Structure 1
Amino acid sequence: MASNPNRPDLPDAILSLERATIVGDALSQMVFGIVICVFLQSMYQLIDGPPRRNEKRNIPLITFTLVLFALGTVFVSMDLNSLKLAWVDNRNAPGGPIAYSLAQYGKPITVVPNSCAIIGDWLAAGFLLYRCVIIFHLNFAIVAIPILMYLASIAMSIMVLFQSSRPNANLWTTLTVNFGIPYYTLSAALNVLITIMITTRLLLYRRSLRNTLGREQAMSVPFASVASMLVESSLLYAVTSILFLVPYGLKSDVSNVFIPILIQGP
């Protein structure tokens, strides 16, 4: 194969990391487009739907949805700006765009979007945990473990943000990874656990309804279908968490493909 005369004078490892970063950010923009559609549809139902049913609007849920979307928007906007600075404005920085980007980890241009991503994860996981608590009728003997895991993930995420923002540090430095693996493991495990708990509870609920009302009536109840249960329990987010966690733990460049998508998951 003929050599590329326009190839940057950078090591293969750096070029591989750059490719993974670009792919991850491009996929993130695609996912954000889906997020916008879901957000607009959700807001339409939350704002316009209740008056049609002679109900009051759920202001707390509307506010929660707005805040979560705002955090995601800030992350995407600042991430795009970081790409512009690294690949256009500072293209010839020593070590290339990736080296420039990693050098910005302790500055607001990176700390702010990273903070938005972590806070968004808190809110999304907290809301999922809230639904689990409600479904189990405030039985804290059952939901105690998810609650403890949630609190532990918050503590680990704070340490990840602190360690990655220190001078000469980033998300992939050894000390940050030492906190990052427990954090992302807890986050993924929490989502998987709550997914299993909610799905099991709803399956049992559907079976009870089917025995009482019949199959057709049971399937017409909200959250009774398999598709509704999967969406309700955030299975896709749990899967994406695992897809990121494995290469991140192995310190593989592939983790850069999934982390921007993971941030859009909440």
Structure 2
Amino acid sequence: MSSDTGARMSYAAALVSSVTYGIYALLAFNTFERLIYTRERWTLSRKVLLAYTTLLFVSETIYFIAGCKWSAIEFVDAPVDPAVFAGQLSSKIALLKDTMYTVTIWIADSFILYRAFIILGGRYLAFIPLVTYVGSLATGIGLLIQTAKPGAVFGQANVINFGTPFWSLSVATNVLSTILIAGRLLYRRRLLRDTTGYGATQLRMYTSTVAIFAESAALYAICAIVYIPMFAKNIPLQYPFSSLLGSMSSIAPTLIILRMAKGKAVTREWSNVPMNDLTPSVHTDARSYDQCEDVKRASDGDLSEIQVMTRV
């Protein structure tokens, strides 16, 4: 890559990181507020969500601070050309930045796996993306080892040989989880519509394109799919996309956690409503449902409460 192009792309990466971290920070603080300042009791699920939010915030913040320090050295203090400095990987600040980058992806991928297990109700299909996740752990460790070697730079064969499968397996984890989550939501929508008489309006919050997109962390997967070929070919445009990908790895799961904190995300109960308990006789008169306060609350809030209809 040319010196000017590399320097410009590295500068663009710093700008992208600053903007996207600001977006992430707003989402994270909103999520903290929703999880902490609520009247509901401290359930295990709520504690897990708070733990994930905290871990993501810590790792993403350390990555951002290290990236800011890296940019300051690159454009102000570095005695070499910024494009040359941008490709160096083995300095202490670069190792900290890359480690937090990788750890954030691991945390985010583990959360999307957790969501897949929740929505699939612990079915064996959820173990399929688990295999690719274990692979991303192994290749991620290998990537960090390679970048820690003295003189390691972007574009080296050993770095590419570990980096490409690492991001590919991470994307595979997200794509497989996306397919399983989206398939489950659409399948449940059809069953609930056919069995309970629920219309599109009541189900849209959980099964619309936007809802499925948010529930499956597709935002991160799309960015990664664009980034991987650039990394493998050592294209300068990889720098801003790398920063974008680092932020999306935190933004995507935080959006899911925020939806869960607001009661808009799919719950285990909604995903596993027993269809044989929802008899057609209960739903023969749509007007009687509107008169039932419990069903109104289920329509406006969490469809996990659809079980109350068995007691109408």
TM-score class, shorter-chain normalisation, is: 0.7 to 0.9
The residue aligned with 1:26 is 15
Shift in Å, 1:70: 1.1
Correspondences of 1:190-201 after superposition (within 5 Å) = 190-201=173-184
Could you tell me which of 209, 234, 237 is aligned with 2:220? 237
The residue aligned with 1:44 is 33
Tell me, yes or no, if the aligned pair for 2:116 and 2:180 is still in contact at 8 Å.
yes
Structure with greater Cα Rg? 2
Kindly, what percent of the aligned residue pairs are identical?
26
The residue aligned with 2:74 is 86
The residue aligned with 2:65 is 77
Correspondences of 1:130-145 after superposition (within 5 Å) = 130-140=114-124, 142-145=125-128
Cα RMSD for the two superposed structures: 1.7
Match of 2:202, as an amino acid?
A
Match of 1:28, as an amino acid?
S
Mapped pair 1:109 → 2:98: no
Match of 2:49, as an amino acid?
L
SS of alignment partner, residue 265 of structure 1: helix
Mapped pair 1:98 → 2:109: no
Tell me, yes or no, if the aligned pair for 1:210 and 1:218 is still in contact at 8 Å.
no
Q: Deviations over 1:36-87 (max 9, x none)?
A: 11111111111123x1xx4326223212201111111111111111111111
Q: Deviations over 1:187-217 (max 9, x none)?
A: 1122112111101111111222222132156
SS of alignment partner, residue 196 of structure 1: helix
Tell me, yes or no, if the aligned pair for 2:129 and 2:176 is still in contact at 8 Å.
yes
Match of 1:128, as an amino acid?
I
Cα distance in 2 between the residues matched to 1:215 and 1:25: 47
Cα distance in 1 between the residues matched to 2:8 and 2:121: 48
Shift in Å, 1:186: 1.0
Q: Deviations over 1:155-193 (max 9, x none)?
A: 001111110111111343111101111111111122112
How many residues are aligned here?
246
Cα distance in 1 between the residues matched to 2:202 and 2:85: 57
The residue aligned with 1:4 is none
TM-score, normalized by length of structure 2?
A: 0.75
Cα distance in 2 between the residues matched to 1:46 and 1:223: 20
Name the CA shift for 1:60/1:143 in 2 (closer, same or farther; >3 Å).
closer
Cα distance in 2 between the residues matched to 1:14 and 1:160: 25
TM-score, normalized by length of structure 1?
A: 0.87
Cα distance in 2 between the residues matched to 1:218 and 1:16: 51
Cα distance in 2 between the residues matched to 1:239 and 1:218: 29
Name the CA shift for 1:214/1:179 in 2 (closer, same or farther; >3 Å).
same
Match of 2:163, as an amino acid?
G
Q: Which runs of 5+ in 2 are unaligned?
A: 250-312
Q: Which runs of 5+ in 1 are unaligned?
A: 1-11
